[in-house]
Amino acid sequence: MSVRNLNAIRCGKCGHLTDCIFSELSEEELSQVAQFLRPVRCEISRTLQYADIPAMPGYYIICRGKGAVITTIPEGKRLVTQFLRGGNGVMVSPHWSEGRYTTFIRVFGETLITFITGEDLLELHKRYPSIGLRVFEKSERQARFLRERLIETAYAGSKARVALLILELEEISLLEMKFSQEELAEMVGISREMLNRQLREFSDRSLISLKHHRISINDIDGLTKIARGIPEL
């Protein structure tokens, strides 16, 4: 990854400001915030179409592009705990990274991320209390996403988890990408063989179409029922 000039960040011109922790700041305050942001550009592999960023303690903001929070659980599995789009942020604490779970960020396509150190985040909170409140709200949401993923991993069947993944990829406009079955299987913590079996079943039931490593949804209501665990009639 490479660092860009700080002047490249123009928070006041951002189209995703309403979803950002800076949403309640004035244009003048936004111009002052830029000095705390450390832009990171991610070099995407031509073969993988994504890049993984080891998450250091601090706060990350997706300024442009799309990404996902990947959490490694004690069993060694990697799970997508949250998908990210412009304006979304991720809090990484040192206690979190050194504990039972480790977190990193995966970005898809051309993506720009800004990073705020923990020390700078405290300073911003002192200057602009609304930032601290938004960070707290987003951190609570992030923790809830992880709890939900852990519950799904423990209790939900692979069929429901694969259906939910397809719906989430569609929601964030990532379904058009060519993901390998290994990549998709990793996102939900199952084997490639299990994923292939579920995709074939969905295809046979005309819920989805499979063509050239791409998935397209034919029956969003049917997939939603499976994801929610609604029994079939």
Residues with Cβ within 8 Å of 85's Cβ and at least 6 positions away in sequence, in order, are: 16, 19, 62, 66, 172
Query: 3-state secondary structure string, 16-63?
Result: CHHHCCCCCCCHHHHHHHHHHCEEEECCCCCCCCEEEEECCCEEEEEE
Which is nearest to 167 in space by CA: 214, 217, 201?
A: 217
**pLDDT 10s digits, 211-226:** 877 899 999 999 999 9
Query: Are 131 and 81 part of one and the same domain?
Result: yes
Query: Are 136 and 192 part of one and the same domain?
Result: no
Question: What are the tokens at 125?
Answer: 């909170």
Query: What is the CATH classification number for the domain harbouring 79?
Result: 2.60.120.10
Query: Are 33 and 94 part of one and the same domain?
Result: yes
Listed residues 112, 146, 180: the one ending a domain: 146
**Domain span at residue 107?**
6-146
Provide the number of structural domains found in the chain.
Answer: 2
**pLDDT 10s digits, 133-171:** 999 999 898 888 888 888 888 788 899 999 999 999 999
**pLDDT 10s digits, 90-126:** 888 755 444 577 788 888 877 888 899 989 999 999 9
Listed residues 146, 174, 199: the one ending a domain: 146
Q: Give percent of the chain above pLDDT 70.
A: 84
The pLDDT value given to residue 4? 40
